[in-house]
Amino acid sequence: MLGAVLPVVLLIPRPSDLPAQTPALSSVAPAPRFADPDRGTKLRAAFPAIDSLMAAFAAQRRVPGYAYGIIIDGRLAHVVAGGIRETRSNTRADTATVFRIASMSKSFAAVAVLQLRDAGKFSLDDPAERYVPELKSLRYASADAPRITVRHLMTHSAGFPEDNPWGDQQLDATEEAFSAMMRGGIPFSTAPGTNYEYSNYGFAILGRIVSNVSGIPYARYLRERILDPLAMRNTTLETRDVDPTRLAYGYRLQDGQWLLEPPLPDGAFGVMGGMLTTPADLSRWVAFMLDAWPARDGAEGAVLSRSSRREMQQIQRFSGASAFAGANALALNAGGYGYGLRVNQNCDFRAAVSHTGGLPGYGSIMKWLPEHGVGIIALGSLTYTPWTPTVDQAFEILKRTGALEPREPQPAPVLETRRAQVSRLVQAWSGPLADSLAAMNLFRDESAERRQAQLATLRDMAGGECRNEGPFIVENALRGVWRMRCARGDLAVRITLAPTEPAQVQFLSVGPLGREASLAPGAVCRSAPR
């Protein structure tokens, strides 16, 4: 058994003493990639179990018509529809049936806003009243409240009260009625910029901003600038545009009977929840969002840059966290709102992006894992169809295949070079080698002489003659850990490179690999004590 971990920290010469950078010292890493070439086949093996899960849910909840799809690496890998599209004729729903997606519409509005932002038309931190004059007369809750910005509206932090029950019935408001509504005042539940509170009203205002800034009515802007370029030709804001033989009519369950919910026509509030689409079109939307990951070189699409799409899918306003100690593990969930999308982390996934949609007659969800390249959509024609727990179970089924793993970060060439140099240093200390690879802070932290002695002690305890063995476990382009196999034990070697060009070692830890040290990254959630 080897002794305690002895950190080893090394130093670099002055920048003026460094050799010219070579390709081996490049800090530009390849894009992260999936390690398992058979991941698609393994994930598809879970489809029958997911089909059984979805069918059981629809039957138990008495969802009239439904459809769901699984997106893998940008393609709709599996799509299923079931139930009744329209109860009077008893016609079946199919994969071409059109469902209303309610608040999932908000991510489309966010893309429209970011398009205009990226074109230099405005800043997200501009006051919204600059583009919607009706807001200038608002009476704020306090004299010190900031003016509402576009960003506040995008992140549900304008201070408006949560308005789901009321907002559901506003889809058909005319533009004139909407203007009068704003001029009449909007009450504040909190000061702008201080809290998260879901606001359909706020997204309706974003639609007005898009129209006023672009000079194009929102529905037309959406069609010309977003839907058509993405080939989403079966997506619309207006029910009357849908072929009646393809529409999933919406129902609520009352006293054991399905009652038709008359669809509201598109109006000023359609921005927040009026869209209708098919499983195939919605899958294109999810694929469009997933395509933003990973960050990489190469051509971009015309609709919105990958960086802006990634911006949408990162927390812009924290909304809370919860933890629950189960029998064997700690369950953790934390997250917030991006732009038109929710972002969450739990014990299984570092990042899950989603949005649900609920209106009288409809309930839907879209959820994807950016680092895993997989998404699920589900559409139902029952008021507020509660898909979330079932979709989470579907992800659990995919996870059990062992193939739902994130992309692995790739090392920059300079990290590979430093790994090889550090390995030589562990095997046999060399002053010039240490000087050439170490950052300026490390000899100041502890002298080279002490580091040399510590390495010699570790090497002797491990039996000498150490060599690299196993994979290089890379946390990011400039940080990694690996195993060195020695005669009587193994060593764990960790390095982190400094923010200099060329990048050199700012942290180096060498210690015995065993119960006290591991090559695995730290877990988000650990088993609860028994």
Encode pLDDT of 189-220 as tens digits: 999 999 999 999 999 999 999 999 999 999 99
> What percentage of residues in the chain have a pLDDT greater than 90?
85
Same domain, 372 and 447: no
Residue 336 has pLDDT above 90, yes or no: yes
Written as one letter, the residue type at 203 is F
* pLDDT bracket for residue 182 (50, 70, 90): very high
Best CA proximity match to 167, nearest among 276, 274, 254: 274
Give the DSSP H/E element, type plus range, for residue 77: strand 75-86
Same domain, 96 and 115: no
Average pLDDT estimate for 399-406: 97
- What's the confidence (pLDDT) of residue 160? 98
| 504 Cβ contact partners less than 8 Å away, ≥ 6 residues apart | 12, 418, 437, 438, 439, 497, 498
Residue 341 lies in a domain: yes
Structure confidence by residue, pLDDT tens digits, 59-84 = 999 999 999 999 999 999 999 999 99
* pLDDT bracket for residue 491 (50, 70, 90): very high
Same domain, 256 and 389: yes
pTM over 0.95: no
Q: What token pair was written down for 478?
A: 């400039």
Residue 2 has pLDDT above 50, yes or no: no
Domain end (from 400, 428, 457) = 400
Same domain, 208 and 264: no
Structure confidence by residue, pLDDT tens digits, 283-301 = 999 999 999 999 999 999 8
**In 3-state terms, what secondary structure has residue 228?**
coil
Same domain, 290 and 421: no
Total domains in the fold of the chain:
3
Same domain, 250 and 368: yes
Q: Are strands 6-7 and 374-380 parallel, antiparallel or unpaired?
A: unpaired
Same domain, 165 and 130: yes
Q: Tell me if 132 sits within 8 A of 124, measured CB to CB.
A: no
- Range 394-419 burial, b when 16+ CB lie within 10 A, else e: bbebbbebebbbbbebbbbbbbbbbb
Domain that holds residue 508: 6-29+409-512
Same domain, 354 and 212: no
117: phi then psi, degrees, rounded to nearest 5? -60, -45
Residue 229 lies in a domain: no
- What's the confidence (pLDDT) of residue 252? 96
Q: Tell me if 458 sits within 8 A of 7, measured CB to CB.
A: no
Residue 306 has pLDDT above 50, yes or no: yes
Residue 139 has pLDDT above 50, yes or no: yes
73: phi then psi, degrees, rounded to nearest 5? 50, 45
The domain spanning residue 93 has which CATH number? Answer: 3.40.710.10
- What's the confidence (pLDDT) of residue 329? 65
Q: What token pair was written down for 196?
A: 């998260």
- What's the confidence (pLDDT) of residue 442? 85
Written as one letter, the residue type at 118 is D
Same domain, 188 and 244: no
Average pLDDT estimate for 52-64: 98
Residue 527 lies in a domain: no
- Greater model confidence, 363 or 464: 363
How many degrees, rounded to 5, is the angle at CA 130 between CA 125 and CA 134? 125
- What's the confidence (pLDDT) of residue 333? 85
Q: How many residues does the chain have?
A: 530
Residue 34 has pLDDT above 50, yes or no: yes
* pLDDT bracket for residue 13 (50, 70, 90): very low
Same domain, 332 and 378: yes
Same domain, 390 and 256: yes
> What percentage of residues in the chain have a pLDDT greater than 70?
92
CA 82 vs CA 62, 95, 359, 379: distances in Å: 12, 9, 20, 11
Q: What token pair was written down for 444?
A: 């100041």
Q: Tell me how far apart the alpha carbons of residues 378 and 387 are, in angstroms, rounded to a whole number.
A: 7
The DSSP line for 435-469 is HHHB-TTHHHHS-HHHHHHHHHHHHHHHTS--EEE
Average pLDDT estimate for 107-133: 98
Average pLDDT estimate for 252-261: 95
* pLDDT bracket for residue 330 (50, 70, 90): confident
Residue 34 lies in a domain: no
Residue 424 lies in a domain: yes
Average pLDDT, the chain: 92
Q: Tell me how far apart the alpha carbons of residues 64 and 82 are, in angstroms, rounded to a whole number.
A: 9
Residue 517 lies in a domain: no
Q: What token pair was written down for 198?
A: 């879901």
Burial class (CB in 10 A: 0-12, 13-18, 19+), 513: buried
Same domain, 158 and 214: yes
Structure confidence by residue, pLDDT tens digits, 262-284 = 988 899 999 999 999 999 999 99
Domain end (from 400, 434, 468) = 400
Domain end (from 201, 223, 245) = 223
Residue 497 has pLDDT above 70, yes or no: yes
- What's the confidence (pLDDT) of residue 19? 45
Residue 61 lies in a domain: yes
- Range 439-455 burial, b when 16+ CB lie within 10 A, else e: beebbeeeebeebbebb
Residue 282 lies in a domain: yes
Residue 12 has pLDDT above 60, yes or no: no
Average pLDDT estimate for 175-189: 97
Average pLDDT estimate for 151-159: 98
Burial class (CB in 10 A: 0-12, 13-18, 19+), 359: buried
